[in-house]
Structure 1
Amino acid sequence: MSTYAVLAATEGEEKINPLVPATYDIVWSAVCVVVIGFFFWKYVLPRFQTVLAERTDKIEGGIKRAEEAQAEAKEALEQYRAQLAEARQEAAKIREDARSQGQQILADMKVSAQEESDRIVASGHQQLAAQRQQIVAELRSELGRTAVDLAEKVIGEQLSDDVKRAGSIDRFLDELDSVGADSGK
């Protein structure tokens, strides 16, 4: 019976929907929304748009700066590669110049050493010839004295006369030279 009592009580009144608010609540809520919307549109939205614009500029600027930096880096890399290639070419040229200079120095040293060797050999030949002449002259005079002494002993007379002695010595040496020449052939 209690359900009939509630229905009977509600028939006399207007039907009210519990999901729809009262009119005064809707009006005051609309006024608050308009005031808040005005402040949001007047103060918050411009600041928000400014912040968004700044961020957009920063991002786009950052991208542009990154692209510029990348372009500069590429350019610097190309310059570095060009300089490196140029340095390698220059190093190869320097090595080749040093190699050719080294070969030239070696050739000059060989020529100088050969000239010095030839000079030393020529000097040695000259010294040998001079010593030979000196030894031959000494041997001639010694051999001449010995021959005169022997001749004096064999002949039994003194060959004290220098002219005779010189003539005898020269004749004896000429005979020795002719005998030495005949035996050398």
Structure 2
Amino acid sequence: MGVIEYIAELVAFAIIVLFVVRYIVPPASKAMKAQQQAIKAQIERAEATEKRLAVAKSKYSDAVVEAREEAAKIRDNARADAQRIVEEMRAQADREVERIRLRGEEELANRRQHLMRELHAYLGQRAVEVANRLVEEHLADAGARGATVDRFLDELDAMSARDAAAAEPSLVASKGES
């Protein structure tokens, strides 16, 4: 029995191997090939995705650099605009200060003239009042009144004598021409 059992086991083993090779290996081989192709497709897709990711990262880096450059330009433009606005505001403030200064000087000159007119009017009025009072005091005394009249008459005589002296040379000159 040893050999017959050994042959029977060998035939049974060969039938099992033949069954496995015929019915199990081809579908398993097909499944493995399909799985290999699916894995290969996934690897190709991963490589393509990796390339697209690298391109996207490059574009992102370029966009970031461009955005930073644009932000720097905008910031520089904003600084220039701010500086220009500050200069315009300073110039406007200087013009306003000059206008206010000129207006103040004009107002000061007007007030000065007004005060001078008021002062002249006041001093004129005070001078008339003082003169009036002096004349009244002077004329209140009869002797002073007589002296004033005499002085006035003397001044009139002196004036007529000067007029006569001034007229004589013109008379002499007009007689000499005739």
Provide TM-score, normalisation by structure 2.
Answer: 0.68
Residue-by-residue CA offset, 1:109-152 (whole Å, 9 max, x unaligned): 10111111111111111111111111111111111111112222
The residue type paired with residue 108 of structure 1 is E
The residue type paired with residue 62 of structure 1 is Q
CA shift, 1:30, in A, is 5.1
1:128 to 83, 89, 108: 108
Residue-by-residue CA offset, 1:77-130 (whole Å, 9 max, x unaligned): 111111111110111011111101111111111011111111111111111111
1:107 to 78, 87, 102: 87
Partner of 1:36: 16
Q: Distance in 2 between matches of 1:27 and 1:43?
A: 24
Give the % identical residues.
Answer: 30
1:153 aligns with 2:140: no
Unaligned runs of 5+ in 2: 140-178
Q: Distance in 2 between matches of 1:79 and 1:111?
A: 47
Partner of 2:54: 74
The residue type paired with residue 134 of structure 1 is H
1:98 aligns with 2:71: no
The residue type paired with residue 66 of structure 1 is A
Q: Distance in 2 between matches of 1:143 and 1:37?
A: 148
Q: Distance in 2 between matches of 1:93 and 1:51?
A: 61
Aligned length: 138
Q: Distance in 2 between matches of 1:91 and 1:113?
A: 32
Secondary structure, aligned partner of 2:87: helix
RCO (CA 8 Å, sep 6+): is it higher in 1 or 2?
1
Residue-by-residue CA offset, 1:47-78 (whole Å, 9 max, x unaligned): 22122212312332232122122112111111
CA shift, 1:29, in A, is 4.4
More helix by share: 2
Unaligned runs of 5+ in 1: 1-17, 159-185
Partner of 2:159: none
Q: Distance in 2 between matches of 1:113 and 1:80?
A: 48
104-113 vs 24-33, which moves further:
24-33
The residue type paired with residue 49 of structure 1 is S
Partner of 1:142: 122
